[in-house]
Structure 1
Amino acid sequence: MQKDWPSELRIVAMFLLLDIVLVCTHLLSGSQLFDLDSEQNIPTFYQSFKLMLLAGLAALHLYRLIRDRNTGTLERTFWGMFAAGALFLGLDEALTIHENAGALLSGIIGSEGTQTYTEIFTAGGFTSSNWLLFYLPLLIAVLVSIVYFARKLYPSFGRKRVILLLAAAGLFGATFALEFIGTKTGIWMTSVYELIMITEETAEMMSVNLLLYFVISSGHEQHKTG
């Protein structure tokens, strides 16, 4: 008799199906309500929900690890940072914080500071969205941290979960690269931009799916050994 799919695979398959429906609806409807490139619409809130769910599951896993006195501080730190990062991304998606990153930073460090920072890149030929520049240090820190934790926690996570984590990180980084390419002068709002934008949004959705699988399977593994 064929075995049932594990619950994490069923959940990810459900979200994958919804992702495909959203992409198809964007292509076929032409409505701003389903436009992957717009804010404050169904795709935005759907992705925000997935990230919030991811944050909640990671926080629940962290709570279980805290109760398990055999869990090391490094692993707890990872899950705390993971939950906080997913929560921030979920809020950012829903509230479009990244679109106002320049104004928010100007209020903290002053407009001269942000202008000087962006001019360093524009002088070198940067012509894409400015919010990418403000998020670039954060992106680098996140990717370096993921590689560090994946290496240090490999004995605890195992090969399968480390691959999931690194693959998700790779897709997450790719979304920034695609955003940079798509919003460059000469590509912005062309037919090429549409293709890049859909690829970027799909990569973002896939990265969250992989992370959901990673978190749920981690919870199941902890439950077995706990």
Structure 2
Amino acid sequence: MNIKLNPQSILTTFLFVIGLLVIANLFGIYARFNLDFPHIQSVIRLVDVDTEMNVPTLYSSFAMFVASALLALVGYMHRLRKESSFPWFGLAFIFTFLSIDESSEFHEMLVGPVRDTLHTSGVFYFAWVIPYGLLAIVLGIAYFRFLLNLPRNILGLYVLSGCVFLAGALGLELIGGVIAQQSGTDSFIYAMSYTCEETLEMVGIALLIYTTARYIVQVFPGTQIEFVKSK
């Protein structure tokens, strides 16, 4: 069986799923503040993008794994050409870690220890943003020259996807920290804040997947993913 990559169809599919998840989340927020049906909290938890171990978390973890797999595929194809492949495999590892982190809540486990150690509040109320933000800066510096060597259209798309993702994962998380400390994590304004945050994260990953698929089509034209039976 051969699979041909169609970047536009991939992006459309992921954005469609994201749209459904956001609509379901907004319904959950409405239900939380306006409805009082039996077991409604179980339904809300199932679709809440700020709750771990549910449908949105499963989607986000899967999307990051897809991004990792495509990046690893690019690295493998460059290796076959005897070209530099390490940066691609490095990115694949990073998104594998993020995929695991998304489902395991590892970054959430850092909040208490970092907050207690550094006595953070306000924009750093969710203190995990400090180590992860520093890591993002280090990775940005390490990959700067690598990015500049990419085709210009691909470079622009990768920068866009990274900015969208980080605007949600770090930017709105900082704002959400202020809101959470002042209004509480059960407030409506905080619910809208994390909805915007998680939406940007999901769209950023979708753009990353699209860009990587487009890179494969552009740099390795005619590439097909083939599955064969082992002898």
TM class, shorter-length? 0.7 to 0.9
- Identify the match of residue 97 of structure 1 among 96, 106, 115: 106
In structure 1, how many angstroms separate the alpha carbons of the residues matched to 2:7 and 2:94? 21
Partner residue in 1 for 2:176 = 182
Partner residue in 1 for 2:68 = 55
1:211 and 2:220 are equivalent in the alignment:
no
Q: How many residues align?
A: 201
Displacement over 4 Å in runs of 4+: 114-117
TM-score under structure 2 normalisation?
A: 0.79
- Identify the match of residue 141 of structure 2 among 139, 144, 153: 144
Kept in 2: contact 1:118–1:133 (CA 8 A) = no
Letter in 2 for 1:192: I
In structure 1, how many angstroms separate the alpha carbons of the residues matched to 2:116 and 2:27? 43
Shift of 1:115: 6.9
Against the structure 1 CA distance between its residues 187 and 181, is the aligned structure 2 distance closer, same or farther, given a 3 Å change threshold? Answer: farther
Against the structure 1 CA distance between its residues 138 and 117, is the aligned structure 2 distance closer, same or farther, given a 3 Å change threshold? Answer: farther
* Percent identity of equivalent pairs: 25
Across the aligned residues of Structure 1 and Structure 2, the Cα RMSD in angstroms comes to 2.3
Shift of 1:225: 8.6
Shift of 1:117: 5.3
Q: Show the 5 A alignment for 1:68-217.
A: 68-69=81-82, 71=83, 73=84, 76-101=85-110, 118-119=118-119, 121=120, 127-151=124-148, 153=149, 157-175=150-168, 176-184=170-178, 185-189=181-185, 190-217=187-214
In structure 2, how many angstroms separate the alpha carbons of the residues matched to 1:163 and 1:177? 20
Kept in 2: contact 1:146–1:166 (CA 8 A) = no
Shift of 1:136: 2.1
Against the structure 1 CA distance between its residues 149 and 116, is the aligned structure 2 distance closer, same or farther, given a 3 Å change threshold? Answer: farther
In structure 2, how many angstroms separate the alpha carbons of the residues matched to 1:28 and 1:169? 28
- Identify the match of residue 45 of structure 2 among 32, 42, 45: 32
Against the structure 1 CA distance between its residues 115 and 20, is the aligned structure 2 distance closer, same or farther, given a 3 Å change threshold? Answer: closer
Task: Report Cα offsets for 1:105-160 as digits up to 9, x if no partner.
Answer: x7xxxxxxx578524x55xx655112112322112123333443222x1xxx3221
Kept in 1: contact 2:64–2:96 (CA 8 A) = yes
SS of corresponding position for 2:14 = helix
The runs of 5 or more residues in structure 2 that have no matched partner are 32-43, 224-231
Against the structure 1 CA distance between its residues 167 and 126, is the aligned structure 2 distance closer, same or farther, given a 3 Å change threshold? Answer: closer
SS of corresponding position for 2:110 = helix
Shift of 1:64: 1.1
Kept in 2: contact 1:182–1:188 (CA 8 A) = no
SS of corresponding position for 2:128 = helix
Structure richer in helix, relative to its length? 1
Against the structure 1 CA distance between its residues 134 and 177, is the aligned structure 2 distance closer, same or farther, given a 3 Å change threshold? Answer: same
Against the structure 1 CA distance between its residues 183 and 167, is the aligned structure 2 distance closer, same or farther, given a 3 Å change threshold? Answer: same
